[in-house]
Each structure stands twice: as structure tokens, then as C-alpha cells.
Amino acid sequence: MNRTELKPSVRLICTSDGRVAEVLAEHCGRVLGVISYSASEPDFSSGDLVHSWVELEVLGEETCHEIWVSENQVSVHRQDGFEYSCDGDFLFCSHVQDECVPQGLERAAHSAYAGLFDLLDRSGYPFLLRAWNYFPGINDAGEDIERYREFNAGRHEAFCEKGRIIEEGSVPAACALGTRRGNLVICSLAGRSKGVAIENPRQVNAYRYPGKYGPKSPTFSRGMLAGDALLISGTASIVGAETMHPGDVMRQLEETLENLRVVGSMARREGFAAEDFRGLCLNVYLRSREDLDSVRKRLQAEFGPNAKIFCMQAEICRADLLVEIEAFWMVQREAA
């Protein structure tokens, strides 16, 4: 199918505290949701907005706000622990799941995703396009296995229970990062129409990882085209299914950049038409803050001054990964 005419979609504006009020006022009534990243809970007077706080330290800034904007008017709803907004084409949802003993992370992930799928089906936005997952101690030992693997098992079970097909083209873009403390925080973007899932031929599809990476594979695609925007999953130094260059952050960064290039190239085959980096927003997750200067310098050389780059300290889904990058890449439109 030729997708050279991709319709407009959601927009993303990344900003620090200084401009957030201005951006919200400019797009009043059309904000699908806001994700705020900071080490302490921000003083965010959101009004009637869907807002999530992710407890991660932003390196070099106090706070990073991701403001998801629609071209249409947005309505906001709250139901069964889910906050969500919709605009006729897209639904943005925020959910905080209390991960309390004896429930455990696997059951918490299952409960959260099962509830999310029920909400999407009821609301008429059945296609999950992108998911963000944050929880503490991602590399720690859980009840029987590593906590990230517990999370994957719970998420996978919810997909199966709710009749979601786990195959190429049917799973969302996603990330999963470790916070220092707090609950399971899940944000998601869904649509009335199906997106175009993007895979990377350099990598085994994540949902087909071999059993040594856990009893259930991670349930995500490498990227997703939603209208004319490309949502790129958390991307790291993985070739095939193996971690490359353990212990060397700069070599891992180069491998990660190559994976990002390939995902972009595969998206262009599906009609993605971004010509430069003006519409590129990057979240860069670093295991060690000591790597900030060298990583930021290399990224600035790669993407130039137009890309928005925010770096955060976080635990990454594999203990031998030192850097992970997720991206949102918008086609820039000419002013009318």
C-alpha cells in the first residue's frame, strides 16, 4: 500500500518550566495530555488536563514537559482510575497503578493493561499506538525473576486475555524505564484508525525474543506511524536480540544511532516524509549522569541545533545497557 499521503496527526511540544504556561495557553482546549519529567513533583496547575508526572531527574534542566497537542477540540474524562482525553481521532490516557504487595508487578501490569484495553474498546479508539511505562527497580530481582521480565509477563497476559494479536503490525511502539521510586505509571496514545508499525531488520522483533530474555517477550514494535508523525520506541545498542558493546557508552550510542537511522529509513518506505530534524524530539535515558557531556555532544553533532534533546538519568530495561533513546519525529508543515 502506498502511503505517500499521510494525514496530519498529533503534535508534540517539548519544553522546560519557563514556557509551559505559554504553550498551554496557546493551545487551550486542544491539549491531549502532558507528561512531566522531574526529580520532584512539579508545581503544575494543569486545570482540566490529563497530566502525568514521571519521577526522573532531567540532566541540565529542572523539568521536561511533553505537551501533546491536537488539531481538534479535546474532551477530558476520568473513569476507573484512568484519566483520558479524546479528539475524534486520538485518545491520550494516563494511569497510575499502585504496585502494592501482595499484588506484585506482574499482576499490576496485567491489571493496568487489561483496564486500558477495556477503556479503548469502550471509547471507540481500539488501536494502541504508543505506550510509555515507568516503574521503580526495573533491573531488581522480583518475586521469581527480574522485575522488567515480570512486567513483560503481565503486559503480555493482558494482550492475550483481551484478544489482542501479537504479531507484526499489531503491537504499539513503547518504552519501559526504571524510576527511583513511585508506582507503575503508564501513559498511552491510541487511535480510531490503525497506525503503521515499523520494524528494524537489524533487530529481532521484540515480541519474538528468545526465552532467555524472559518467559514472555516485550510487546512492542520498533516504531509507529500515526498520521504523518513517527513515534520511535525506546532504542538501544541491540543487534539481533543481543546487547552490543557492554560497558562502553559511546560505542553503544553509535549502535543506537544506527538503529534510529534504520527505523527512519523503514518509515520512509511507508510514506513518512520528514526532510530534516526540525520536528525531532528526543528523550535520552542515561544510566550514569557522568556520560551526559559526551553523549549530548555526539547527539548535537548528529542532529544539529533544530532537534529538541532532553537527557534523563534512568535505569534501562537491560542491566548491561547504558543509554536508550526514544523519539517523536513530526513532518513540518508550511504555514498557511
Contact 267, 225 (CB under 8 A): yes
Contact 137, 222 (CB under 8 A): no
Q: Looking at residue 2, what is its pLDDT?
A: 45
Structural element, H or E, at residue 239: strand 238-239
Q: Name the residue type at position 140.
A: D
Q: What is the 3-state secondary structure (H, E, C) of the chain?
A: CCCCCCCCCCEEEEECHHHHHHHHHHCCCCEEEEEEEECCCCCCCCCCCCEEEEECEEECCCEEEEEEECCCCCEEEEECCEEEEECCCEEEEEEEECCCCCCHHHHHHHHHHHHHHHHHHHHCCCEEEEEEEEEECCCCECCCCEHHHHHHHHHHHHHHHCCCCCCCCCCCEEEEEEECCCCEEEEEEEECCCCEEECCCCECCHHHCCHHHCCCCCCCECEEEECCEEEEEEECCEEECEECCCCCHHHHHHHHHHHHHHHHHHHHCCCCCCCCCCCEEEEEEECCHHHHHHHHHHHHHHHCCCCEEEEEECECCCCCCCEEEEEEEECCCCCC
Residue 335 has pLDDT above 80, yes or no: no
Looking up cell 525531532, which residue turns up?
280
Residue 3 has pLDDT above 60, yes or no: no
Catalogue all structural domains in the chain, each as residue range(s) with its CATH number: 11-330 (3.30.1330.40)
pTM of the model: 0.95
Residue 101 has pLDDT above 60, yes or no: no
Tell me what the mean pLDDT of segment 252-257 comes to. Answer: 98
Higher pLDDT, 182 or 210: 210
Average pLDDT over all residues of the chain: 93
Distance CA 317, CA 41 (A): 24
Of the residues 71, 324, 326, 334, which is catalytic? 324
β-pairing verdict for 173-179 and 184-191: unpaired
Least confident window among 99-108, 226-235, 323-332: 99-108
Q: Looking at residue 104, what is its pLDDT?
A: 87
Q: Looking at residue 5, what is its pLDDT?
A: 53
Higher pLDDT, 100 or 47: 47
Residue 1 has pLDDT above 50, yes or no: no
Q: What is the pLDDT of residues 11-31, one digit of tens each?
A: 999 998 888 999 999 999 999
Residue 324 annotated in active site? yes
pLDDT band, residue 100 (cuts 50/70/90): low
Tell me what the mean pLDDT of segment 45-54 comes to. Answer: 87
Q: Looking at residue 225, what is its pLDDT?
A: 96
